[in-house]
Amino acid sequence: MFFVWPKFLWLMLALPLLPALYVWLLRRRGKLAVRYSSLGVVRAAAAGRHWRRHVPPALLLLACSALLFAAARPVARVPLPWARSSVLLAMDVSLSMRVSDVKPTRLVAAQEAAKLFLRDLPRNVEVGLITFAGSSQVAQRATLDRAALVEAIDGFQMQMGTAVGNAIALCLAELFPDHGIDVGEMTFGGKRQGRSLDDKDKPPPRQITPVPPASYTSAAIILLSDGRRTTGIDTLEAAKMAADRGVRVDVVGLGTIEGEHTPAEGMPIYLRLDEPTLREVARMTGGEYFHAGTAEKLRSVYENLGSRLQVQARETELTGLLAMGSALLTLAAGLLSLLWLRRLA
């Protein structure tokens, strides 16, 4: 904790004077009561010794303490609701996702975990969905419509290949449409044949000034993959693009770490998870890496991501909160005084 106006902390030295003043007033009132012989005054004096008589002044003392402390404008790191506006889920739909080492299959487990994540995420956070295999596609642009997202998740179609870098780059293209990020150009370069009408409307690549990793607070990427890159943009090149823009990438590695090259229906599938590269993606971008070898673990990972994304510790000025607390204490003191003592004291 620190203070914007620390010099006002000297006002706290006046607090001990308030209890002393209260004690002096009580003694003075007691001396005045001795001068009267009225029975009602004696009863009032007896009532004045009751513990409830001291509660309203004690609350007023606390209220004054809070106000004097607020005058120094304290700032502290406190947990607050997540301030980011959108999350992009980049999910692997390569053929290896049909393997059943994660029950019932990797794909079904990933779909159920993603839907659980959507259910627990605050309703005011937009979510977009990117799918990737040999190429990457925007399955659903960032939206608040959870039903549309669930429909997109249920409609996954598996393909050959794993282009992890393409998925990250496409997420960045969605987040920064004015940066001129062309995933197709980055993938094929000069070999790309022709340009579509949409390409002509895209801005040219924009030179950016790198910012600290994870400093972009308007969005985040959650990447799930069960394999290693077999095509497309280099994964770490795409991670550097995200890091330079301050975009955090949390990575979930799904399935087998120690696997082997295994055929399925006549087509080879890589089962081995490229964990070192995925860990490096998380490290470069200021994110976290999670390994999920079972459906239960995968659900747990998404639950933890949801809870971590919903609350963040941020430096926040507490002046308003302390002022509100002081007002409530003052109100409580007045109400209790009227209720117990039939007057404001």
Q: Are residues 105 and 166 in the same domain?
A: yes
Residue 107 lies in a domain: yes
Residue 307 lies in a domain: no
pLDDT surpasses 90 at 187: no
* Count of domains forming the chain: 2
Confidence of residue 208 (pLDDT cuts 50, 70, 90): confident
Q: Are residues 204 and 100 in the same domain?
A: yes
Q: Are residues 326 and 288 in the same domain?
A: no
Q: Are residues 63 and 169 in the same domain?
A: no
b (16+ CB within 10 A) / e for 27-45? eeeeeeeeeeeeeeeeeee
Confidence of residue 197 (pLDDT cuts 50, 70, 90): very low
Kindly give the interhelix angle for 275-285 and 235-244, rounded to the nearest 10 degrees: 10
Q: Are residues 223 and 277 in the same domain?
A: yes
Spatial distance between the Cα atoms of 135 and 142, rounded to a whole number of angstroms? 19
Q: Are residues 279 and 179 in the same domain?
A: yes
Looking at every residue in the chain, the average pLDDT score rounds to 83
Residue 321 lies in a domain: yes
| 115-142: average pLDDT | 92
Max avg pLDDT among 38-47, 198-207, 283-292, 312-321: 283-292
Q: Are residues 269 and 169 in the same domain?
A: yes
List the one residue out of 269, 251, 249 whose CA is nearest residue 260.
269
Angstrom CA distances, 60 to 71, 130, 188, 341, stand at 17, 57, 72, 15
- Which domain, by its residues, includes 6? 2-78+316-341
Instruction: State pLDDT tens for residues 219-274.
Output: 999 999 988 899 999 999 999 999 999 999 999 999 877 654 454 454 445 567 88
Q: What is the pLDDT of residue 134?
A: 93
Spatial distance between the Cα atoms of 252 and 217, rounded to a whole number of angstroms? 20
Q: Please name the residues in contact with 283: beta carbons below 8 A apart, sequence gap of 6 or more.
A: 289
CATH of the domain at 215: 3.40.50.410
Instruction: State pLDDT tens for residues 88-99.
Output: 999 999 998 988
Pick the more confident residue, 296 or 264: 296
Q: What is the pLDDT of residue 205?
A: 67
pTM of the model: 0.66
Q: What is the pLDDT of residue 293?
A: 84
Peptide bond into 104 cis (omega under 30): yes
Q: Are residues 99 and 137 in the same domain?
A: yes
pLDDT surpasses 60 at 83: no
Q: Are residues 65 and 91 in the same domain?
A: no
Residue 305 lies in a domain: no
Residue 43 lies in a domain: yes
pLDDT surpasses 70 at 49: no
Q: Which residue has the tokens 């995420």?
A: 121
Residue 217 lies in a domain: yes
* Count of Cβ atoms closer than 10 Å to residue 332 Cβ: 16
Q: What is the pLDDT of residue 143?
A: 94
Assign 151 to helix, strand or coil: helix
List the one residue out of 120, 141, 154 whose CA is nearest residue 305.
120
Q: Are residues 113 and 146 in the same domain?
A: yes
Residue 59 lies in a domain: yes
* Count of Cβ atoms closer than 10 Å to residue 138 Cβ: 16
Q: Is 286 left (phi over 0), alpha (psi -120 to 50) or beta?
A: left
Confidence of residue 311 (pLDDT cuts 50, 70, 90): low
Q: What is the pLDDT of residue 192?
A: 46
Instruction: State pLDDT tens for residues 14-29.
Output: 888 888 888 887 777 6
Q: Are residues 125 and 179 in the same domain?
A: yes
Residue 300 lies in a domain: no
Q: Are residues 56 and 87 in the same domain?
A: no
Amino acid identity, residue 219?
A
